[in-house]
Copies of this chain bind each other. A is one copy, B any other.
Amino acid sequence: MREVDLVHRIRKLAASGYQNRAVREGIGDDCAVVRPTPACDFVLTTDFVLEGRHFHLDTYSPADIGHKALARSLSDLAAMGSEPLFCLVSLAIRPELASRWVDAFYKGLLALANMHKLTLAGGDLSRFDKVVVDVMCCGRVPKGKALLRSGAKPGHKIFVSGPLGAAAHSNWQLRAEPRVSAGLKLRGLASAAIDISDGLSLDLHRLCLESNVSAELNSALLPIAPGASLDEALHGGEDYELLFTAPQAKIRKVSGTQIGSITYGKAGQVRLNGRVLKPKGFDHFR
């Protein structure tokens, strides 16, 4: 299998997927060419999915890995309240993985991409002794309307878009569904947003740091996933629910579970039932 043949196969797969009109030139040139929409900003994110760290080849099918790699980036687009446009996929594979593995990987990725009207517009390919995926996703939002982490203010209420702790409880989540449509509905309502990829305690800490505020959670309000413990709901990663804040005047218009309030206090500090909650979620460097 030559690189040119592999690129040809991927290009055919990409061409069979959803073709977002923003993408003017996709796979096949030095760069993808994208036409902006008037009065819109672009939002861009990139996320690794690494063999032995985010998945193992014996428990994840290639389609699962493709799904997961895109889901992680799409979840970041969701947290900005943005409409997905396209992605670039960098894939390094082990020499022994055949073109059938590569096909299945892209089919898994494209199935999720199609659901969200996202186009595979380019990327990079290499051989390596481990499977490495890095997905860059780009979306758009009306000018100045991206949901940032930095807009939470004391008095705003804290919400989550769904149950927490399911992924931690079952040890992994094969096919997480990024909350893209929930994110779109939060535009103009949420004052700040983040996706819960590394656990509620750590991601809420991050949101509070950027907003220069504290947070107070009420454990009785937490939507704990069936079977999961309070600890899994507080610190488990990979739930990919949205965590957001909204001012009192808008809380009747948002859909989600209210779990606490933003307060004055030390930037980044999170309290549970009045006691300081340390950010124990997933940290890549611990």
* Chain A interfacial positions (CB closer than 8 Å to B): 1-4, 6, 24-25, 28-36, 38, 40-48, 50, 52-53, 76-77, 79-80, 82, 88, 90, 92, 121-130, 132, 134, 136, 138-139, 141, 143, 146, 148-150, 193-195, 206, 209-210, 283-286
Question: Which of B79, B123, B128, B134 contacts A30 (CB under 8 A)?
Answer: B79
Contact B32 A44 (CB under 8 A): yes
- Tell me, rounded to whole Å, the shortest Cβ–Cβ distance linking A159 to chain B: 16
In angstroms, Cα B24 to Cα A283, docked, is 27
Question: Which of B4, B6, B45, B141 contacts A88 (CB under 8 A)?
Answer: B45
Question: Which of B30, B38, B88, B283 contacts A80 (CB under 8 A)?
Answer: B30
In angstroms, Cα B126 to Cα A28, docked, is 29
Name the CB-closest residue of B to A194.
Answer: B30
In angstroms, Cα B125 to Cα A172, docked, is 20
Name the CB-closest residue of B to A143.
Answer: B35
- Tell me, rounded to whole Å, the shortest Cβ–Cβ distance linking A29 to chain B: 5
Contact B48 A43 (CB under 8 A): no
In angstroms, Cα B30 to Cα A82, docked, is 11
Contact A283 B41 (CB under 8 A): no
Residues of chain B with a CB closer than 8 A to A132's CB: 48, 50, 92, 128, 132
In angstroms, Cα B77 to Cα A122, docked, is 14
Contact B124 A46 (CB under 8 A): yes
Contact B286 A2 (CB under 8 A): yes
Residues of chain B with a CB closer than 8 A to A53's CB: 126-128
Q: List 13 A-B contacts (CB under 8 A).
A: A30-B45, A31-B44, A35-B41, A36-B41, A42-B42, A44-B122, A44-B138, A46-B88, A46-B134, A48-B134, A50-B126, A53-B127, A136-B136
In angstroms, Cα B42 to Cα A4, docked, is 25
Contact A80 B31 (CB under 8 A): yes
User: Beyond A3-B284, A48-B124, A50-B128: 7 further Cβ-contacts under 8 Å?
Assistant: A30-B76, A31-B139, A33-B141, A36-B36, A50-B92, A90-B134, A127-B285
Residues of chain B with a CB closer than 8 A to A143's CB: 35
Contact B125 A25 (CB under 8 A): no
- Tell me, rounded to whole Å, the shortest Cβ–Cβ distance linking A102 to chain B: 10
Contact A43 B33 (CB under 8 A): yes
In angstroms, Cα B124 to Cα A285, docked, is 12
Q: Contacts A34-B41, A80-B31, A143-B35 given: A48-B286 contact, CB under 8 Å? A: no
Question: Which of B1, B46, B123, B124 contacts A123 (CB under 8 A)?
Answer: B46
Question: Which of B41, B52, B286 contacts A33 (CB under 8 A)?
Answer: B41
Contact B31 A284 (CB under 8 A): no
Contact B30 A136 (CB under 8 A): no
Name the CB-closest residue of B to A134.
Answer: B134
Contact B283 A30 (CB under 8 A): no
